[in-house]
Structure 1
Amino acid sequence: MTTLLISDLHLHPAAPEITEGFFAWLERNTQRPVTLYILGDFFDAWIGDDLMALGAQDPTGHAALANQVAARLRAASERGCGIYLMHGNRDFLLGDQFAEAAGAELLPESCIIELAGKPVLLMHGDSLCTRDEAYMAFRAQARNPQWQAGVLAMPIPERLALAQRMREQSGEANSTKAEDIMDVTSEEVVRVMQEHQVNTLIHGHTHRPAVHPVEQLDDEQAVRFVLGDWSREHGWEIRADDTGIELSRFVFSETND
């Protein structure tokens, strides 16, 4: 069976081209049973599953988007597609209600699966960026259950405003950071791969798609696959089967014909 992995779609009402591109990609790739892993930042922001109940009453369009995406995933699940969701740094409040509506299963922040006959570690990737001390401090806060409960207790309009402020603050902060600070730390990559006893790691988050040898492991086969973020014109996927694991970029206009 084919396994597909994607990450960093950042679905948002203001970017309908990405949503439509994803729907077309999903429809095309799930006409036969496959397994799909979504490795975080599926949504550009997620303020809580209770938003879905608002439906058309939400003037921002976030509720409609969430319900449309859940319905498309559910349809793929009913066609025999196994769907697994991982939290990212933008949608860390994604919960069981959405997963159930989508026919999906939520994953822990790291997990091991078998691809092409070998164990592979999956992560979103933000925890690997240890040189970004400001972000790591925020990450610790955002993953704290008490902090999350406090946010979810806020009225929905306040949560939407908070999400907007957080996006703006993140953009401002990243604009002043050195490029290497926002990339993964090599030592942390090696540490987690050694800890999990794997020679293959797949993650997203950095928006720097590539396939990197992990030379520090002293293993010629050690490799790190980095998924790219989706734009209004193209997406990134990893496709794995018995023959191997391949990272590729595709253009919506070419794949939707």
Structure 2
Amino acid sequence: MTTLFISDLHLDASRPQITRTFVDFVHDEAARAKALYILGDLFEAWIGDDAGDETSDAVADALAGLHARGVPVFFIHGNRDFLLGDAYARRARMTLLPDGSIVDVDGERTLLMHGDTLCTDDAPYQAFRTQSHAPEWQRAFLARPLEQRRAFAAQARAESVRYTRSVADAITDVNDAAVVAALRAHRVRRLIHGHTHRPAQHSVDLDGVPAERVVLGDWYEQGSVLRCCGREFAMRRLA
């Protein structure tokens, strides 16, 4: 059976067609899979489990149905939905995994990450990530009224777009040394991640031993799914 990996769907009420594509994917291909791994940024923004809408409801229902059919769903937080909590995960029947989890994929120990922590050349983002992942920052943010949180998220998205357009692509891509360090620290030869929206399969020289880094695609224009069956990897686009 096939293990499926997706990330960077950025689901949002403003793009209902992508949500429909995802729900169809869950009902069809994912229903026949061994497992589904979502490596972050399932949603465009997540401001708390108490801020649900039709999009998050549809996603939760689809994933809970997938779980009911015997297909486990695993989720790693991304930089847009790092506040997704236990309440929503229980509703969607997802198992939350820490960023930097090792799983057995058809006999190969594989490191799964969202990928943002590998972009070490992007100093401003890493500083914000450190701040926003602090428990005290998250408690204070989630205590704000919903309208304040929505306004903050909208402003953060706009600033992210402006910032990304203003810096070189290399700054927002992974750092090669960070990739090697992650593989070495976890003692694995395969890494799968998202975040950069640059789908590809890369060969990595890990201290003289061949290793690989597989990057997942985003879902802004169409779906993107990595299918793994044995040693075979295939990236598939969904209409």
TM-score bracket relative to the smaller structure: over 0.9
In 1: Cα distance, 2:61 partner to 2:24 partner: 14
**Counterpart residue type for residue 236 of structure 1:** S
* Match runs of 1:14-29 below 5 Å: 14-29=14-29
Q: Provide the residue aligned with 2:141 in structure 1.
A: 151
CA-CA distance at 1:32 after TM superposition: 3.3
- Paired residue secondary structure (1:238): strand
Kindly provide the CA deviation profile for residues 43-93 of structure 1, in whole angstroms up to 9, marking residues without a partner as x: 0000000113xxxxxxxxxx1211111011101110111001110000010
TM-score normalised by structure 2 residue count: 0.97
Say whether 1:224 aligns with 2:213.
Answer: yes
Once superposed, which parts of structure 1, at least 4 consecutive aligned residues long, lie more than 6 Å away? none
Question: Is the 1:32–1:79 contact (alpha carbons within 8 Å) kept by the matching residues of 2?
Answer: no
In 2: Cα distance, 1:31 partner to 1:108 partner: 24
Kindly provide the CA deviation profile for residues 142-192 of structure 1, in whole angstroms up to 9, marking residues without a partner as x: 111110111100000110110000000111111111110100000000001
Q: Provide the residue aligned with 2:224 in structure 1.
A: 236
Q: Provide the residue aligned with 1:140 in structure 2.
A: 130
Question: Is the 1:77–1:103 contact (alpha carbons within 8 Å) kept by the matching residues of 2?
Answer: yes
CA gap of 1:33–1:25, structure 2 versus 1, over 3 A, is: closer
TM-score normalised by structure 1 residue count: 0.90
| Residue correspondences, number | 239
- Structure 1 runs not aligned, ≥5 long: 53-62, 253-257
Q: Provide the residue aligned with 1:55 in structure 2.
A: none
Amino-acid identity (%): 44
Question: Is the 2:13–2:55 contact (alpha carbons within 8 Å) kept by the matching residues of 1?
Answer: yes
- Structure 2 runs not aligned, ≥5 long: none
In 2: Cα distance, 1:30 partner to 1:131 partner: 35
